Structure 1
């Protein structure tokens, strides 16, 4: 935690965090914890669009998933909102190639916005996130080249996921989005605890996601991104709070890996219980 002084206020700055979409979407080895469907374990054909499952953070940490689908009318923590074939230029890529993660970030994040009915700023401030999965290594060797994007009821620091509604389609389409699905933190700083719904007790609220670069811009370096984020968030949070004489704010910014994957936004947090 770093302390600084803005033009108008004492600022409490959140530490750097990595993007969930790259760090928590199946780029690690290990066994999932879900009830597996033998027919899906080494499936060459793409999974079913709209299927619901009971996934855990441990499942999401794996590169592939064959958890048994459940009826979406039953309790579930995940829903498949996009499936498709990887582009031809990735068919010869290694199973764990970074290019696959970059493609998944761009593809799933864009489809995630449309599925939830929200813009990029809103989806970066929700307690739900997305995970992506690829075929098993055996299926990959047999020629499978599909991807699967699931919305899940939690984020990178979640120890457990919450149940989703029967479908998460249009979950954030209401203006403003329901606090039940928006991100707050109950801790000393924005990185001190997992995100919680803003309907729960909290000390920080994610109030906007500000743009720090254009799609074709080269990565300007950690220092430039952090300073740009700090200055924007200082002004934006002050405005959001009505320009009080003193206020606390936080920010979450990202690194070159996420920039290369397509992220150009940082998140601003206000110290507030409202």
Structure 2
């Protein structure tokens, strides 16, 4: 098609040149081949669609590129919940860049509105996706906020679902973290299977502890201890037991932090769970008090 178009232009130009030798242009011809043609648009990088769903096998954090979107009522494994724009003055975002932290905060706030609560209290993951260096050079200034649902928060296997994540933490809160059957392997967690709190279980999500602002601790043991100490207070507040040094003798605990990359973006949180090694419950321990969790229980 392109060769045919060029040939037709050359023929027309020859015809006009011959007409010009006769002392004038034919009727309706002004002698200017380009003044009435629209200019070609400048090339640009497409902006991702917001509130779009994608069926992706084993989606990875920062998944790019994406296939064509599907309806959110259809099977999908990744959902773009928000698309934002970097400021014109921002440099290409890199590790530790304030622009990245602002974008991540916007993603977190957008996820809260979209889901109806803090995404960290749900079986969800949130990823910030930014343009590649080539896309940035081409004028791209968007960032994408992607969410996925996990089957559990130990294996982090992504769920292929039908229906949007929107509203998953409002009303009956179908995405909310609740009670679990925890399988231990020595000092490690082997599995955390979500179950209804009315069935026998030995673990329960109690909330998120946020570490104080500061650099990511270089000492892994120090970081682990800080999270355990922080979550101990969250457990005490959730269960209604005194927040003292005896909490550890009432109930065990499991903590999951979000890692250095999230910390550098502003998420210094850790998910906190209570855990009973040798005892099960058939109801939530929220507000249960010291009677349900006596010292040296479990």
What residue number does 2:10 align with? none
What are the equivalent positions in structure 2 for 1:120-269 lying under 5 Å apart?
Answer: 120=118, 123-154=119-150, 158=155, 160-174=157-171, 177-178=173-174, 181-182=176-177, 184=180, 186-188=182-184, 192-193=189-190, 196-199=193-196, 203-213=202-212, 217-219=213-215, 221=217, 226-238=224-236, 240-241=238-239, 243=241, 246-253=250-257, 257-269=261-273
User: How big is each residue's C-alpha offset from its partner over 1:211-231, in whole Å with a ceiling of 9 and x where there is no partner?
Assistant: 332xxx434845765444323
Change (3 A) 1:247 1:74: same
**TM-score of the two chains, using structure 1 as the length reference:** 0.64
Of structures 1 and 2, the one scoring higher in RCO (CA 8 A, sep 6+) is 1
Deviates more, 1:74-83 or 1:184-193: 184-193
Paired residues in the alignment total 222
Q: Partners of 1:160 and 1:227 in 2: how far apart?
A: 27
Q: Partners of 1:188 and 1:263 in 2: how far apart?
A: 27
Q: Partners of 2:87 and 2:191 in 1: how far apart?
A: 35
Q: 5+ unaligned residues in a row in structure 1: which ranges?
A: 1-41
What residue number does 1:44 align with? 45
What residue number does 2:60 align with? 60
Q: Partners of 2:88 and 2:181 in 1: how far apart?
A: 42
- Classify the secondary structure of the residue corresponding to 1:82: strand
Q: Partners of 1:191 and 1:105 in 2: how far apart?
A: 31
What residue number does 1:77 align with? 77
**TM-score of the two chains, using structure 2 as the length reference:** 0.60
Q: 5+ unaligned residues in a row in structure 2: which ranges?
A: 1-42, 242-246, 283-298
What residue number does 2:25 align with? none
Cα offset for 1:63?
A: 5.5
Q: Partners of 1:191 and 1:124 in 2: how far apart?
A: 22
User: How big is each residue's C-alpha offset from its partner over 1:173-213, in whole Å with a ceiling of 9 and x where there is no partner?
Assistant: 237x33x5426463317963566544498643321112332
Q: Partners of 1:266 and 1:191 in 2: how far apart?
A: 17
Change (3 A) 1:160 1:246: closer
What residue number does 1:38 align with? none
Task: Say what the alpha-carbon RMSD is for the aligned residues.
Answer: 3.7
- Classify the secondary structure of the residue corresponding to 1:124: helix
Determine whether 1:102 maps to 2:97.
no
Change (3 A) 1:165 1:246: same
Task: Answer whether contact 1:204 1:271 (CA < 8 A) is retained.
Answer: yes
What residue number does 2:111 align with? 112
Q: Partners of 1:172 and 1:230 in 2: how far apart?
A: 26
Structure label with greater radius of gyration:
2
Deviates more, 1:230-239 or 1:67-76: 230-239
Cα offset for 1:150?
A: 1.8
